[in-house]
Amino acid sequence: MAEELHISASTDKIEKYESLIPQVEALISGETDLVANLANIAAALRYGMDFFWVGFYMVKEDQLVLGPFQGPIACTRINRGKGVCGQAWDQAKTFVVSDVDAFPGHIACSSDSKSEIVVPIKINGAVIGVLDVDSDELNSFDAVDQKYLERLMNSLSDICS
């Protein structure tokens, strides 16, 4: 497919995801390289959903290490169980954080970040990394974001495993 996205002008989050996610799945389905797909997903979500920061932290030995991202520079290493990302890795589940300042152990890479969602990427049951999306507003993420972002991470896992 052509390497361009149609970005929905809708202000409805579900309509935006319904337009964007199939396009991203089509884009990554033509490529088996994990890093290439992570890079395109970060850009597609950053610009398609107008998120403040979108990126990946990948499991390397006993830490998460910063991978492809779009947005301001970020922390490079996170220990297992630390911050939202480290807990999502450790517990192998999605975390939706409506107010990062109220989340015990949150790691503030940017003082502008106010809410966050972290979705683990599982290949054959093992967490190989996490998708982290940050907002500069409180309460930006809910079950709708969780549904579509988990769907996308499952598609990525199927394509790259």
Tell me the site size for ligand SME, rule CB under 6 A: 15
The tokens for 95 are 């975390």
Q: Choose the stretch contacting ligand SME; rule: CB under 6 A; options: 11-19, 33-41, 76-84, 146-154.
A: 76-84
CA angle 101, 151, 38 (to 5 degrees): 75
Whole-number Cα distances in Å, 10 to 17, 21, 37, 120, 147: 10, 14, 25, 28, 19
First-to-last CA distance in the chain? 22
- CB of residue 2 to ligand SME, shortest distance in Å: 30
Q: Is residue 134 a contact residue for ligand SME (CB under 6 A)? A: yes
- Residue of 39, 107, 123, 159 that binds ligand SME (CB under 6 A): 107
Which stretches of the chain bind ligand SME, using CB under 6 A?
53, 74-75, 78, 83-86, 106-107, 109, 113, 116, 132, 134
